[in-house]
Amino acid sequence: MRTHPLVTAEAWDRRLGYFLDYTRRSLVEAFGEARVLGGGLRVTTTLDRRMQEAAEAATERYLPEPDDPEAALVAIDPRTGAVRAMVGGRNWNRSKVNLATGDGGTGRQAGSAFKVFTLVAALEDRISLNSRWRGPATITIPDRRCYTDGRPWTLSNASDSEDGTFTLLQATAHSVNTVYAQLVTAVGPEAVVDVAHRMGIESPLDPVCSITLGTQEVTPLEMTRAYATLAARGVRHDATPLLEVADPSGEVLRRIDRRGEQVLRPNDADLATYALRSVITSGTGTRANIGRPAAGKTGTTQEYVDAWFCGYTPQLAACVWVGYPEGQIPLVNVHGFPAVFGGTIPALIWRDFMTEALAGQPVLDFHEPSFEGYTGGPPTPVPPPTPSPTESPTPTPSPSPTESPTASPTPSPSPSPSPSPTPSPTPSPSPTATPPGGGGGGGGGGGGP
């Protein structure tokens, strides 16, 4: 096994520095700063060089200009928790704020990408994907748990055309805010918090009704870990950049723990995956179709400040966030998109990354869920939309944090793709291309789709 000494992040690619700094922090947390900076540790990381290059290429393809919004991308192997790729910003040498891990702030609002936790809580409560819900364009929730400033909670869907009766499957595919507002009152916001924490969210969460619309702050790393839990049929793994760490004599001090913890019933995870597949096949995330079984969810926050796409196959989970680090700057008029929803640029980045990352890997299908004990058996598939659905931003979110650069870079381990580390991997420059034009709709997500 070939290993290499710790090196400063400046010696590496302008984006690879984010993964290196994440690795250094993980080492310090595990072994202490003195031992890590003292040298001698032989570190093999989980980084997959080809996936890292694919992540960098995908983000630069759709956001090529210096004044474009930033993007973060995290990819995790759901079978082990190994972090296979990480883009934490445009240029490590210019900003040491890792947007993938939430450095410089507590994170970003996830919009409708957070609805997955309400969905799982409902499935744990035996609420069927066939259950039918009235989804008016605007709704007022009378439940006193949802009151704000002494008044009932009122919220809306993306447009007045989103008004009707939906199955839970349809409401998930099209990210219907007014259905999910009722769903959170049915299961209780405390249950949503519990599910989110079990699945891998570590940020503090308040049990308020608006949590279902993603108004609380999380990081791309956390969200990827949580979606990876669904890909692993309810088994949560700790996300880690460390495949193996040995001392100077070669004695192994730590290896990646492949066991994980079963935090959801496998069939509940399978049912959630069944619903989330419809987001890509016929809902707000159709741009994320990669030609193999995949599941995911779009997310867009109020005023288009944050846009997300999180998704997975059985082999790989990834989340993409797009936005401005300063927060509260709307994502409008970006490369042909009047407004950036989760189903636009984030979904396109996710699609391109996953297509390249999974190239040459077998096409695996998800486990078919059991509908025993649920009303009506398997739900009727959601028909493809015409035109593409548009998700509604999350209503009335709290301000996103302003992130400031951290201090100069500190020593970080030389990343090496598993299973065998290679010397000084330096990804080649990512190709740049102008993204195809498109409308502002097409499926982003937020408190709505």
C-alpha distance from residue 135 to each of 168, 180, 371 (Å): 10, 9, 24
pTM for this predicted structure: 0.84
Per-residue burial over 174-213, b if 16 or more Cβ lie within 10 Å, else e, is bbbbbbbbbbbbebbbebbbbbbbbbbbbeebeebbbbbb
Q: What is the mean pLDDT of residues 142-146?
A: 93
Domain boundaries, given as residue ranges, for the chain: 59-240+263-406
**Region of residue 328 (phi > 0: left; psi between -120 and 50: alpha; otherwise: beta):** left
Q: In 157-202, which ranges are E strands?
A: 164-167
CATH class of 59-240+263-406: alpha beta
Given a contact cutoff of 8 angstroms between Cβ atoms, the answer to whether 254 and 243 are in contact is: no
The pLDDT confidence band at residue 400, using thresholds 50, 70 and 90, is very low
- Name which of 21-30, 211-220, 237-246, 405-414 the model is least confident about: 405-414
Residue partners of 127: CB distance under 8 A and separation at least 6: 168, 183, 186, 187
Would you state the pLDDT for residue 378? 72
The pLDDT confidence band at residue 328, using thresholds 50, 70 and 90, is confident
